[in-house]
């Protein structure tokens, strides 16, 4: 497809606006991650230390109850740390798939939903395109966690002829008209991110048949 000058200008403007939005999101998520680390986690750790001191002077049933409380608090710290990882900017050093796995670990932590990722962990995409994939599927996974009531969620990465596709499928309750609902801010933003990187986003959902979110992006040209 050949873009006209007007279409190119719109695409550049859209990419600029989305870049600004990404910057705002990153700053807000970073601030939230810092607040979680510096306040709740530190307070919980301090409480664990106090419990350890009390445990040293306790015995019997009191000591057992203190152990149980300490274990619950330690579990809370682990969950908060996974949440911090999910809020943090993507670390693409070990590949896009690895970054998405870390993200999913935070989003589906303690959920009844079973998550798995399949396909190659590395994608032949430019860094901005990989960051776009990360942001689109962060939104898709959060939606799946909150709304799908799914038992299983699968994220599949695959290399195609001149393209890279990422597909998220769930076996949840589904919904009518999800793909057509361009007025929904989350869906509209996901679609705009895909278009800005020259990609295509498809969302298919039917009541009782789950939801599929598929993103196809062009790969890097051979060097």
Torsion of CA 27, 109, 185, 219, to 10 degrees: 80
CA 28 to chain centre: 15
pLDDT at 30: 60
pLDDT at 140: 92
pLDDT at 196: 83
Neighbours of 100 (CB within 10 A): 24
Helix axes 127-143, 5-36, angle to 10 degrees: 60
Return d(Cα 6, Cα 75) in angstroms, integer. Answer: 54
Q: Taking the model in full, what pTM does it have?
A: 0.66
Return d(Cα 69, Cα 6) in angstroms, integer. Answer: 63
Torsion of CA 29, 38, 106, 67, to 10 degrees: -160
Using alpha carbons only, give the angle 62, 68, 74 rounded to the nearest 5 degrees.
135
pLDDT at 95: 93
Give mean pLDDT in consecutive 10-residue pieces for the chain, a chain of 223 residues. Answer: 47 64 61 65 83 83 85 80 68 91 86 93 90 90 89 95 94 71 64 87 90 92 51
Neighbours of 189 (CB within 10 A): 16
Q: Which residue has the tokens 């966690």?
A: 145
Residues with Cβ within 8 Å of 60's Cβ and at least 6 positions away in sequence, in order, are: none
* Sheet with 152-160, edge to edge strand ranges: 114-118, 152-160, 163-170, 211-218, 200-205
């Amino acid at each position: 497809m050949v873009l006209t000058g007007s279409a190119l200008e719109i695409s550049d403007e859209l990419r600029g606006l989305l870049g600004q939005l990404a910057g705002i999101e990153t700053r807000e998520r970073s601030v939230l991650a810092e607040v979680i680390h510096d306040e709740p986690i530190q307070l919980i750790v301090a409480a664990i230390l106090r419990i350890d001191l009390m445990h040293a002077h306790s015995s019997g049933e009191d000591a057992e109850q203190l152990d149980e409380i300490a274990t619950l608090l330690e579990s809370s710290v682990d969950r908060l740390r996974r949440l911090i990882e999910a809020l943090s900017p993507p670390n693409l050093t070990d590949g896009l798939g690895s970054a998405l796995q870390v993200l999913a670990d935070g989003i589906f932590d303690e959920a009844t939903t079973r998550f798995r990722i399949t396909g190659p962990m590395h994608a032949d995409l430019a860094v901005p395109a990989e960051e776009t994939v990360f942001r689109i599927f962060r939104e898709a996974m959060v939606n799946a966690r909150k709304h799908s009531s799914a038992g299983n969620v699968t994220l599949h990465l695959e290399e195609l002829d001149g393209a890279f596709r990422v597909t998220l499928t769930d076996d949840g309750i589904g919904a009518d008209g999800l793909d057509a609902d361009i007025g929904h801010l989350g869906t509209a933003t996901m679609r705009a991110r895909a278009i800005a990187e020259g990609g295509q986003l498809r969302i298919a959902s039917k009541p009782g048949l789950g939801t599929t979110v598929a993103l196809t992006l062009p790969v890097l040209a051979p060097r």
